[in-house]
Structure 1
Amino acid sequence: MNLLVTGGTGFIGRELLKHLTTYSITLLTRDEQTARKTLHHTDCGNIHYVDSLDSFNDLNEFDAIINLAGEPIADKRWSETQKKRICDSRWKITETLVELIHASTKPPAIFISGSAVGYYGDQQDHPFDESLHVNQDTFAHNVCERWEHIALRAQSDQTRVCLLRTGVVLGEGGGALAKMLLPYKLGLGGPIGNGKQYIPWIHILDMVRAIVCLLETEHASGPYNFCAPHAVTNAVFSKTLANSLGRPHFLFTPKWAIKLAMGEASCLLLDSTRAKPKKLTEIGFNFSFPHIDSALKNIVANSR
């Protein structure tokens, strides 16, 4: 199977490529030399690197597309410039891919495109699945809503579209957990705000296994919540992480301090999202790490 992959050098993409060694991969990257170095231990000779889609008139040669490209959403404050960078890095590449799919006489059978649980916004402590329709005027929702709308234009009798509404991806060597570990290791970790907000987390291994599951499940289409079946509150997550590291857990970060430090982007830490992966379980996907304690113990053990 021939795959076109974007975002392959990111935290999720790097792990995903380890699970695609039997596939022929064309990897879109802005910097081929850096990508080759980053993927040195992953590339089994099955990856072909391209730095632009300009040479493609169509995507007839590909069986599937996995679109993970996008500026990290939590790395910087959401200035107007950063907001534009976040949007453009998602929308423009997706629009180009959709146009190339439409130009194909034999288009890829599946288009897997990124999104995030930010689509749902703050849902407090109410559990919900992919059937929840949201109409909000927040930046996170608007980014995801338009991103998904663009991707869904590729849907046809020949091409199915799957949307990855991704939660907080946990793993060693990157993602949200990499930023959390140091203060917790120093005994400075603790819940954020009142700690009652739900975190829709997922282990990196389940993240990439679920992508492969969508790739290989011919009837899978539409939005999928990429989060473990057992979301936990920030307080429970924080205490579990401290325990897994054998560190104390008594500090907390007040809500006002997070808002002061992060501005509008503070919603990423303060919104409560109790998303359920109903559609993944319906297609038979089994989570290796459905509970937060075993997930964090695995990651901490592997990082030592």
Structure 2
Amino acid sequence: MKTIIIAGGSGFLGQVLKDYFTNKNYKVFILTRNPKSDTEIYWNGIDLGNWTKQLENAEALINLAGKSVDCRYNEKNKKAIYSSRIDTTNLLGLAVNLCDNPPKYWFNSSTATIYESSFDRPNTEKNGIIGDDFSMNIAKSWERAFNETTTPKTKKVILRTSIVLGKKGGALTPLKQLTKFGLGGKQASGNQKVSWIHEDDFTNTIQFLMDKKLEGIFNLCVPEPTNNKTLMKSLRAVMKIPFGISHPLWLLKLGAFFIGTETELVTKSRNVIPEKLLKNGYNFKYTNIKLALEGLIKN
């Protein structure tokens, strides 16, 4: 039986991947600080240990480890966001190279946030403009650490993932709560682009990359981004909520302060295109935001 190892896989995306690959008859192991079952294995993200044995002969290693960016960017959190990504990537690289038979694939998370905010100019893997602020520099450092590790027997893929919409977690959960309480209007101008991907396409993409034996950098997002205004309007329609109070920028800043997050998570215009996936023939299951939301919320 083929095995998949997911580092930092105890969260929303890790569980989505675990369910997908388990249903495809893979054996899936989660590397986590708090193992709760036979398929969860202890690691602390800092030290080598018994978990490294699971990498032998694995089909793929998928690294999702990293502190959530849904927090205030104070010095303590900035340091934790950085180290939780860079240190674990370096550790996994060392572990892969200590294997006699290392994983065939190593997928490492990155983020579509690596690109500059853009309303009119789409960012592709080849022509995207990579920016220079805290979030973008974290992504650049993350990818640099990954690229600096040479793995002769393991194909490497950087996943520049956009907002993943899923049934049991991720960005959709707080958006549904806002909408439920009549606060599901546009945020700031509402014109900012929203690059997103359905959880089914997220898992299917990883399978597709393995099947096609592809490597390199891939944007994981729908071919045409929506915008914030359309996203919130679609969400209200699907949830049958007739109105939604909009959030001007000053209110977003105030709210972000009180709930301990940053406004850029909703105000940045993420205009990202999956050029390489499309060129290699990937067919998206969901490209329309309203149809995607209907499937996630009603089913």
TM-score computed with the length of structure 1 as normaliser: 0.88
Q: Does 2:196 correspond to 1:201?
A: yes
Aligned counterpart in structure 2 of residue 222 of structure 1, from 200, 216, 224: 216
Measured in 1, the distance between the counterparts of 2:123 and 2:42 equals: 39
- Deviation of 1:207 (Å): 1.1
- Deviation of 1:199 (Å): 0.4
- Deviation of 1:235 (Å): 0.7
Paired residue total:
288
DSSP 3-state at the match of 1:5: strand
Aligned counterpart in structure 2 of residue 149 of structure 1, from 125, 144, 156: 144
Measured in 1, the distance between the counterparts of 2:224 and 2:130 equals: 25
| 2:33 corresponds to | 30
Measured in 2, the distance between the counterparts of 1:126 and 1:134 equals: 9
Q: What per-residue deviation string (whole Å, max 9, x for no partner) do you get for residues 115-134 of structure 1?
A: 11111131233222111354
Any conservation in 1 of the 2:114–2:130 contact (CA below 8 Å)? no
- Deviation of 1:146 (Å): 0.9
DSSP 3-state at the match of 2:158: strand
> Kindly tell me: are residues 292 and 56 of structure 1, through their superposed partners in 2, closer, same or farther at Cα, counting changes over 3 Å?
closer
Q: Does 2:64 correspond to 1:63?
A: no
- Deviation of 1:203 (Å): 0.9
> Kindly tell me: are residues 120 and 51 of structure 1, through their superposed partners in 2, closer, same or farther at Cα, counting changes over 3 Å?
same
- Deviation of 1:82 (Å): 1.2
- The percentage of counterpart residues that share the same residue type is 31
| 1:50 corresponds to | 41
2:16 aligned partner, one-letter code? E
1:106-145 mapped onto 2 (5 Å cutoff): 106-145=101-140
> Kindly tell me: are residues 60 and 186 of structure 1, through their superposed partners in 2, closer, same or farther at Cα, counting changes over 3 Å?
closer
Measured in 1, the distance between the counterparts of 2:244 and 2:255 equals: 21
Q: What per-residue deviation string (whole Å, max 9, x for no partner) do you get for residues 117-167 of structure 1?
A: 111131233222111354533111011111111112334442221111111
Q: Does 2:13 correspond to 1:5?
A: no
Measured in 1, the distance between the counterparts of 2:27 and 2:168 equals: 26
Measured in 2, the distance between the counterparts of 1:292 and 1:14 equals: 23
DSSP 3-state at the match of 2:10: coil
> Kindly tell me: are residues 298 and 99 of structure 1, through their superposed partners in 2, closer, same or farther at Cα, counting changes over 3 Å?
same
Measured in 2, the distance between the counterparts of 1:142 and 1:290 equals: 29
Stretch of structure 1 that moved more, 55-64 or 134-143: 55-64
Structure 2: where are the runs of 5+ without partners?
Answer: none
TM-score computed with the length of structure 2 as normaliser: 0.89
- Deviation of 1:56 (Å): 5.7
Measured in 2, the distance between the counterparts of 1:85 and 1:202 equals: 27
Measured in 1, the distance between the counterparts of 2:130 and 2:203 equals: 29
Q: Does 2:100 correspond to 1:100?
A: no
DSSP 3-state at the match of 2:69: coil
> Kindly tell me: are residues 57 and 191 of structure 1, through their superposed partners in 2, closer, same or farther at Cα, counting changes over 3 Å?
closer
1:15 aligned partner, one-letter code? V
- Deviation of 1:245 (Å): 1.2
Q: CA RMSD in A?
A: 2.0
Q: Does 2:251 correspond to 1:257?
A: yes
